[in-house]
Amino acid sequence: MFDEIDVNGTCHCGKIKINARVKKSKIRACHCTDCQKFSGAPLRAIAIASHDKISIKGTPTEYVKIGDSGNKRIQAFCPDCGTQLFATNMDKTSFNIRTGFLDQRSDLEPNQHVFTTSSMTWFKKQFLSDMK
């Protein structure tokens, strides 16, 4: 399928490796305040993979975040170097892979921006106004 791409990456220290098949049409930039806090950046780019299209070697640390809605999400990161790897639902059926550690990150251009009401004012002025 033309929309799918194989991706792979390792955390900064190399202890955790991830391979996945993601849809390029499902690359998103999330501007929610949780993504801002977790990443220390104004947004976080993600690629979505289903549970049957991801392979994880190594054991990430998992932190369960409870959102304002009461929804629980697992946030996974390397226990040694802290590289943020993915978020997933409690059943681990869908994975939001953080694109920054993937080797193909340059090819994973977000085609949708979500939770933009939380975007930084300067980002809205410089970028989001051009996207309408």
CATH architecture for the domain at 4-119: Beta Complex (2.170)
pLDDT value at residue 69:
81
Provide, rounded to the nearest whole percent, the portion of the chain with pLDDT above 90: 62
Domain ranges of the chain: 4-119
Question: Which whole number is the average pLDDT over 17-37?
Answer: 90
Does the structure show a pLDDT above 60 at 132?
no
pLDDT value at residue 131:
59
pLDDT value at residue 114:
82
Name the average pLDDT for the chain.
Answer: 90
* Among 79, 22, 9, CA closest to 51: 22
| Burial class (CB within 10 angstroms; exposed 0-12, middle 13-18, buried 19+) of 37 | exposed
Q: What is the DSSP letter of 102?
A: B
What digits encode the pLDDT tens for the residues 70-109? 889 999 999 999 999 999 999 999 999 999 999 999 999 9
Rounded to whole angstroms, what are the CA distances from 53 to 2, 20, 69? 16, 5, 28
Rounded to whole angstroms, what are the CA distances from 87 to 52, 66, 111? 15, 12, 19
Residue given tokens 């080797």 in the structure block? 103
